[in-house]
Amino acid sequence: MGIFGRRLVPTAVLVLVMVGVAGLATAGDDPGIKFRIIVGEFEDKAEHGWYHGPGPGGGMADMLITALVKTGKFRVFERAALDELLQEKNLSMSDLANPGVAAQQKFEIGDILVKATITEFGYKKGKVGGALKKFGTKAGVGSYTGRVAVDMRLIDIGSGEVIWADTVNKTESSKSISVDTKKFAFGDVDKFDDHVVGKATRKVINSVVDKLEDQTRNRPWQGVMITADEYLFIDGGTELGIKTGMKFDVMRQGKVVKHPKTGKVLKVIQSTIGTVEAIEVEDGITTVKTVDGSGFETGDVVKLRK
């Protein structure tokens, strides 16, 4: 429903902040505003001739989405819904990491983008070494070690800044593997979880979830302001954990710093022009009032004040 299809609550100054993003996961019992995490498909650069299932890139991305949703601390869209949002904005997944793309468009989609490249996805037989594919598709006995490694990047969608980058690698060992590798695939949870590679994969996913929780715990939520005459709202409410009394600094975009040769946007400098406060929170919408400042415009960034 659009903002003009909703009941308008008059205040001295009103603003609409499009938050298809989500915000802050704070320490303690109060989870704060939930960040919206966008998970891109994992780029697959690993050698895994033994593996016969669908590419691990999509499978690992789906695993991460499921794990994030289960924490209850994030808002994560199904892939089909994300694709629809991107099409509506005429954006691609790569645009979300581009600081040159308008922040308003990106903030309506997400807050943090997860990008990953799979560099290892396989297992070896301990006694003789070498890839298991040399020994056929079945393994009855022996010692096997599965290893999965992923180069991870967490990107602030609003600014395009890489807020964390590292290689996450995990191993899992077993005395025997009873799974036929031709049937080992992400779609079969039981067989996947019985395999050393499946177990190593889950360790990687759990590690990434832990890192996302660390990175969002003290990170202030940001959104984009949209003014509608004298009315002011946040397009998000109880479903995000927004509460009355929460205050938001209003930021105005200033100088854009570009690389002198490539023209790439390196940084967008912002200045604080005022503060607003949530005064009425409903499902999907929050009314805010001005605390200080004036002249707010559509496209101004709002940042949750700690």
CATH number at residue 236: 2.40.10
- Phi, psi dihedrals of residue 105, rounded to the nearest 5°: -60, -40
Clarify whether residues 182 and 52 are in a common domain: yes
- Per-residue pLDDT at 168 exceeds 90: yes
Show the tokens assigned to 171: 């191993």
Clarify whether residues 11 and 92 are in a common domain: no
Q: How far does Cα 234 stand from its chain's mean position?
A: 20
What is the residue-averaged pLDDT of the chain?
Answer: 78
Clarify whether residues 231 and 262 are in a common domain: yes
Q: Is residue 30 situated within a structural domain?
A: no
At residue 155 the predicted structure's pLDDT band, cuts being 50, 70 and 90, is confident
Lowest mean per-residue pLDDT among 7-16, 37-46, 113-122, 295-304: 7-16
Structure confidence at residue 125 (pLDDT)? 79
Q: Percent of the chain beyond pLDDT 90?
A: 30
Clarify whether residues 248 and 151 are in a common domain: no
Helix ranges, the chain (H): 56-71, 79-88, 103-107, 189-194, 196-217
Full residue range of the structural domain in which residue 274 is found: 3-19+221-304
Which CATH number characterizes residue 207's domain?
Answer: 3.40.50.10610
Q: Is residue 9 situated within a structural domain?
A: yes
Q: Which residues pair with 253 in a beta bridge?
A: 270
Q: Which residues pair with 36 in a beta bridge?
A: 75
Which residue, of 193, 217, 241, is where some domain finishes? Answer: 217
Give first-to-last CA distance, the chain, whole Å.
30
Structure confidence at residue 141 (pLDDT)? 54
Structure confidence at residue 189 (pLDDT)? 83
- Alpha-carbon span 38 to 268, nearest angstrom: 22
Structure confidence at residue 120 (pLDDT)? 96
At residue 277 the predicted structure's pLDDT band, cuts being 50, 70 and 90, is very high
The whole-model pTM stands at: 0.73
Which residue, of 170, 198, 217, is where some domain finishes? Answer: 217
Clarify whether residues 72 and 196 are in a common domain: yes
Which residue, of 168, 198, 217, is where some domain finishes? Answer: 217
Clarify whether residues 109 and 143 are in a common domain: yes
Sign of CA dihedral 67, 72, 74, 77: positive
Highest mean pLDDT out of 121-130, 220-229, 244-253, 255-264: 244-253
State the average pLDDT over residues 46-52. Answer: 88
Clarify whether residues 113 and 165 are in a common domain: yes
Task: Render pLDDT for 136-151 as a digit per residue (tens, 0 to 9).
Answer: 444 445 688 999 999 9
Task: Render pLDDT for 282-305 as a digit per residue (tens, 0 to 9).
Answer: 887 788 899 999 988 877 888 888
Q: Is residue 40 situated within a structural domain?
A: yes
- Alpha-carbon span 303 to 247, nearest angstrom: 8
Clarify whether residues 39 and 74 are in a common domain: yes
Q: Is residue 213 situated within a structural domain?
A: yes
DSSP state of 279: E
Highest mean pLDDT out of 34-43, 76-85, 155-164, 217-226: 34-43
Clarify whether residues 79 and 117 are in a common domain: yes
- Alpha-carbon span 224 to 235, nearest angstrom: 10
Show the tokens assigned to 190: 């039981």
Q: Is residue 233 situated within a structural domain?
A: yes
Lowest mean per-residue pLDDT among 121-130, 169-178, 276-285, 294-303: 121-130
Q: Is residue 25 situated within a structural domain?
A: no
- Per-residue pLDDT at 66 exceeds 60: yes
Q: What is the total count of domains within the chain?
A: 2
Clarify whether residues 8 and 147 are in a common domain: no
- Per-residue pLDDT at 115 exceeds 60: yes
- Per-residue pLDDT at 70 exceeds 80: yes
At residue 18 the predicted structure's pLDDT band, cuts being 50, 70 and 90, is very low
Q: Is residue 26 situated within a structural domain?
A: no
Task: Render pLDDT for 74-99 as a digit per residue (tens, 0 to 9).
Answer: 988 777 777 777 787 787 777 877 76
Task: Render pLDDT for 213-246 as a digit per residue (tens, 0 to 9).
Answer: 998 888 888 777 778 888 888 777 787 888 999 9
Clarify whether residues 180 and 78 are in a common domain: yes
Clarify whether residues 39 and 125 are in a common domain: yes
Q: Is residue 24 situated within a structural domain?
A: no
Between CA 25 and CA 91, with CA 298 as vertex, the angle to 5 degrees is: 70
- Alpha-carbon span 257 to 279, nearest angstrom: 36
Sign of CA dihedral 52, 53, 55, 61: negative
All residues at 6 or more sequence positions from 26 whose CB lies less than 8 Å from its CB, including other chains: 32, 217, 218
